[in-house]
Chains A and B, each alone.
Chain A
Amino acid sequence: MVITLREGGETSLILALLFSSLKAARHVAYRAAAWTGFALALGLSIIAGVFLHDLGELGPLFGGSLAWIGAGFIASLAIQLHMNAVDYRAQLKQLRDSAAVDHVSWTTALGIGSFAFVSVIREGLETAVFLANGTGPRSDGSWLGAGVGLALAAALGVSVYLGFRKLNIRAFMRTTEILLFALVISLFLSGLHEFSEAGVLSVPRPLDLFHLTWIQGGLFLQVLLCAGPFLYLAFAGGPPIHYARGAGIAILLALIPMSLGAGARAWEHARLAPSDRDAALGVERAAETRARAMVTALETLRQRSEWGDVAGARIAWVEARGRFVQIEPLLARVDGEFTEELNGEPGEGAGFHGAEAKLFLERAPWGSNPARRATLVADLGDLLTRGRVAAGKIDAMTLDPAVLRDAWTKHAWVLRGRIDGQECGASQTSISEWRATLDAMDGDLGGNGRYTEPVRAVLAPAFAEAARGPRFGEHREETRVAPDRLHTQPPLTGPDRVWDSVDRQRLRRALDETLARIERDASLVARHKGR
């Protein structure tokens, strides 16, 4: 519901600004063109939602192109508004008195219609595909949520439109120009992000992080909304009391998305049986605690790395990684793509595995080399920002006990993959990852350990061995291996040795048994079927 509200909110704001501008010009033909574009895009979005389930690799290319076309339209609109504003100052009275403008430019009408079309279809398509896939923590309520969200967002746009006649047109136009310019930046960055996802260009990390924290989460839009009244007042002038009113409106605008989010969560909880409601709240609190612990550990990690404290950084990394694997299945339900990015790949800068490779490989040369340390600290700053965004997503999600079963069983592939162990340099953390995962499964599913008992039985000796101290083996980059050393096993130390002694086949069978127990648990199944 919150997602669809955000998608619809941005579109409604853009359209409200468009229709308000058109109302000032009293161009009936232009308004008709805008409404036609709007209706066409809405219809196409609905059709796409019915027939398309996933645009696949085309999605980011399509999304990026639409975002930039939208940015181009808005920039053009802002320029036109600015040009017309000169006329407004001179001919404001004449414009107000005229019933209609004599000359209608059909190219402009076509442009306006296209703009409305692009604005709506850009977000509409994404929302429709999202709804058609039924992804998210509670897919059964997403259609209703979408309806409410879009209606509320539309109401916001309509209220701006209807209140237009009481506005100071010149001040409103100037405010609109600034807001449109900010929207151009927002759309440009969204397009950059999409093209980067499609692999056609690489975006500098600061820009990508700005997009992740400000644009993608809707914060930029909220700040724009709140800044609007002040900008308007600054241009319109007036007594101080007007500024107080403006502040009131800004606070109201800030509160709307917050209260809607809280309302959506309360509504989701209200639909649960009382016993499930308590369990849901408990699980949500636990997930939020784990996410916050992950962020704290990431902060420590960055600090230790800045100090060149190799051992301290590695310990913090293991703690952060353990917390991440605890929230991973839940986070994946909210935003699978983001979760994969946060997990990362060895050799890539962002994400856990990227940082892991640098922290543990090559005997950690960053401990003594300031240049390498600076690169690592920058990577960890990136990871920390992503971790904070993840915590925000966990805070905003609504869970109930029934979906947790799905979350953990659908996570089976990741868990089986974890048996591979030596994914990259920090394979020694596998033991602590397993312990963290099993703890989270027990906590989330309320099984008092009965689900995870088979896996714990296999891993018990390894847990005991690893608990004796945080010892981390050393790896180093090797290029050419001398033939006489090819078959020489390098000595394993600490938890590396522990993990190497784990019977993988027994562990695989034990994990299958654990997942089977969750699948066939009567109480979880009954609750799930009752939805």
Chain B
Amino acid sequence: MRRIAAWLPLYIFLALIALLLGSRPGLVRHAFRAAVERARGGALAPDARRAARPDSSEVALGRLLFFDPILSANKERACASCHIPARGLSDGRPHALAIDRSDLPRNAPGLTNVSDQLAFFWDGRAVSLEDQIDGPIHAKRELGGLKGREIEARLDSIAAYRALFREVYGERSPRYADVKHAIAAFERTLRSSGSTADRWWKGQIAEESVPVEARRGFDLFAGKAQCSRCHFLPLTTSVVPGAFAAQEFTVIGVPADPQGRALDPDPGRYAVTRDKADRHAFKAPSLRNIARSAPYMHNGVFQTLDQVVRFYNQGGGKGLGLDVPNQAPEVRPLHLTVAEERALVRFLEALSDDSATVEPPAHVPSGLQVGGRY
């Protein structure tokens, strides 16, 4: 009895740790996954995993898998069903389409420069592209929830895939882990750095050749409109420059409808961290090709960039008169004039890059419809 009593403090401390970590299972899981991914990647920058050459066989395999509905339970949906090249690698819908043709809770984000991110999904619950791919594949409402073994069996039954996997990953049958590696390798090539704004910043084109409105818009972006407080330059993501080791999530008070009658109920980052300060916080997406990936926000509430800029100009959710307790202090009435709002939109349009368009393959090894049926 005395011996047990002597070790009591240790038991109490262990119980405290278990209670504390148990109260934040999402955060602990996220931290573990991030540590494992960092150990694999070796570095901390967003491009920690060096992008494979666009013409490499791994990227080619990833491209086929990205457009092949073989990964969905009903063989009618592919990654490209929600990430359509012609629509800025988004789908043009406010809410992504579920496998049963109903609406999913959130908007499908554009994938341009997706490897500039450190956290994936609107709430950042995935910590690598490979980790993210698990989400839609295993979600019953997205691609039908196939298990890794089922996917391996399907791919193993197709001779062309067997050959491709052997060529890329050596003498073995297709593995689910390699499916994720291949798709991620392809997604890392979805890069845009040739927009008008990029070429201007790099000195590849004369300043005078950039429309005056777009130049003024850039000044507003970095200055009065405070956009770059969350969409950090030059990535335009919320990955904090310098060390590029952290990604920020911000509460801006996105409404449930364009009229701003109520706050969108989606808890956002809170679902991952269970931290009250993260309630309604979302990741600031990359703004590359943003003009092509309408509608906007996690719930697709705004159809145009003009609406988005006006929302910020009014002061976010608070500016609409909504009760947003944690709204970021920098999201407040900006007092942009109509001309300034327009200039800002012109600058965002100048972030569009035609060279980043992805060409779908003519056919996929499964023989199914490229990009899925719907």
Contacts and interface: CB of A to CB of B under 8 A. Distances in A.
B160 interface: no
Given A61-B28, A195-B20, A72 B13 contact: yes
A71 interface: yes
Contacts of A414: 242
Nearest to B242: A413
Contacts of B321: 479-480
B229 A419 contact: no
A127 B10 CA distance: 25
B258 interface: no
Nearest to A508: B222
A418 to B, nearest CB: 11
B16 to A, nearest CB: 6
Question: On chain B, which size bracket covers the interface?
Answer: 35 or more
Interface in B25-72: 27-28, 30-32, 34-35, 38-39, 42-44
B224 interface: yes
B226 A422 contact: yes
A53 B39 CA distance: 8
A516 interface: no
Contacts of A336: 243
Given A71-B13, A72-B11, A505-B219, A489 B242 contact: no
A324 interface: no
B335 A488 contact: yes
A83 B6 CA distance: 8
Contacts of B16: 68
A420 B229 contact: yes
Contact of B8 (A53, A79, A201, A357): A79
A58 interface: yes
Interface stretch (B92-100, B147-155, B324-332, B363-371): B324-332
Contacts of B13: 68-69, 71-72, 75
Contacts of A79: 5-6, 8-9
Contacts of A201: 20
Interface string A487-503: 11110000000001000
B280 interface: no
A491 B314 CA distance: 17
A56 B20 contact: no
Q: For chain A, which range describes its interface: under 10, 10 to 19, 20 to 34, or 35 or more residues?
A: 35 or more
B7 A76 contact: yes
A3 interface: no
A278 interface: no
A57 B35 CA distance: 7
Nearest to B310: A486
B245 A56 contact: yes
Contact of A83 (B2, B24, B28): B2
Contacts of A357: 329
Interface string A448-487: 0000000000000000000000000000011111000011
B38 A54 contact: yes
B6 A76 contact: yes
B267 interface: no
B263 interface: no
B216 to A, nearest CB: 10
A376 to B, nearest CB: 15
Contacts of A282: none
A56 B33 CA distance: 10
B42 A53 contact: yes
Contact of A505 (B35, B38, B215): B215
A69 B229 contact: no
B20 A424 contact: no
Interface in A161-207: 184, 195, 198-201
Nearest to A354: B329
B14 interface: yes
B329 A424 contact: yes
A85 to B, nearest CB: 13
Interface in A32-61: 51-58, 61
Nearest to B317: A479
A137 B258 CA distance: 52
Contacts of B332: 477-478
A281 to B, nearest CB: 29
Nearest to A51: B39
Nearest to B340: A487
Given A65-B21, A200-B24, A76 B10 contact: yes
Contacts of A490: 335
B177 to A, nearest CB: 21
A57 B21 CA distance: 13
Nearest to A500: B224
B226 A420 contact: yes
A111 B224 CA distance: 61
A420 B219 CA distance: 9
A488 B337 CA distance: 7
A201 B27 CA distance: 12
Contact of A76 (B9, B23, B226, B243): B9
A266 to B, nearest CB: 32
Interface in A297-349: 336, 346-347
Contacts of B320: 480
B10 A56 contact: no
Q: Which 3 A-B pairs have the closest CB atoms?
A: A72-B13, A75-B9, A72-B10
27 contacts: A53-B38, A53-B44, A56-B35, A57-B30, A57-B31, A58-B32, A61-B28, A68-B13, A72-B10, A83-B6, A111-B10, A195-B20, A199-B27, A410-B242, A416-B233, A417-B232, A422-B224, A477-B332, A478-B315, A478-B333, A479-B321, A481-B315, A486-B313, A486-B335, A488-B335, A490-B335, A505-B215
Interface of A: 51-58, 61, 64-65, 68-69, 71-73, 75-76, 79-80, 83, 105, 107-108, 111, 184, 195, 198-201, 336, 346-347, 357, 361, 410, 413-414, 416-417, 419-424, 477-481, 486-490, 500, 504-505
Given A486-B313, A486-B335, 6 more contacts: A53-B44, A72-B11, A75-B9, A199-B275, A424-B330, A504-B219
